[in-house]
Amino acid sequence: MTHRERQLIRESFREIGKMAGPLSLLFYGRLFELDPTLRPMFHGDIARQGNKLMEMIGAVVDNVDRLETLTPVLHAMGQRHAAYGVVPRHYELVENALLWALGQALAPGFDNETKAAWRSVIGTVSTGMKNGAAEL
C-alpha cells in the first residue's frame, strides 16, 4: 500500500469510528442480502459480532503501516472461520458488503481513491485469512 492509501484509511476510519455500531449493522444487512444462506453462520447477538468486526478493523487500521505483523492473527482467524464453514467465495461477498457499508457511512467522502485504499487493505486481510485457512 502507498503512503497516501494508508493516510486515507486512517482518516476515513476516524470518521466511521463515531458510527461503528450502525456501520456493522449496515455491513451484516448487506452481507445477508447478498447471500441469505450465510445468516445461520452467525449465532447469537449480531451487534456483539459487529463490535468484534469493528475491533478487528480498528486493529488493521492501527497496523496499516505494518500489516505484515498481523499475518499470524489473520492466519488464525482464517482457520477459525474455516471451522465455521467459511469458504473462499465468502471472502468476496464480505469484501463487497464491507465496501458498500463504508460507502454508505462515508458518503460523499467515499471517493474512488478512498474506496481503492479500502479495497486494497480489505484484500490484504482476506488474503491473510484465506492463507491461514489453506494451512488446515
What are the residue ranges spanned by the domains of the chain?
Answer: 3-134
pLDDT band at 129 (very low <50, low <70, confident <90, very high): very high
Q: Give every CB contact of residue 121 below 8 A, 6+ residues apart in sequence.
A: 1, 5, 9, 60, 64, 67
22: preceding bond cis by omega (within 30 degrees): no
Class of the CATH domain delimited by 3-134 = mainly alpha
- Of 67, 38, 71, 115, the closest CA to residue 46 belongs to 38
pLDDT band at 58 (very low <50, low <70, confident <90, very high): very high
Q: Give every CB contact of residue 90 below 8 A, 6+ residues apart in sequence.
A: 35, 38
Q: pLDDT digit string (tens) for 1-32? A: 999 999 999 999 999 877 888 999 999 999 99
Q: pLDDT digit string (tens) for 77-105? A: 999 999 999 999 999 999 999 999 999 99
Mean pLDDT of the chain: 95
Which residue has cell 449465532?
43
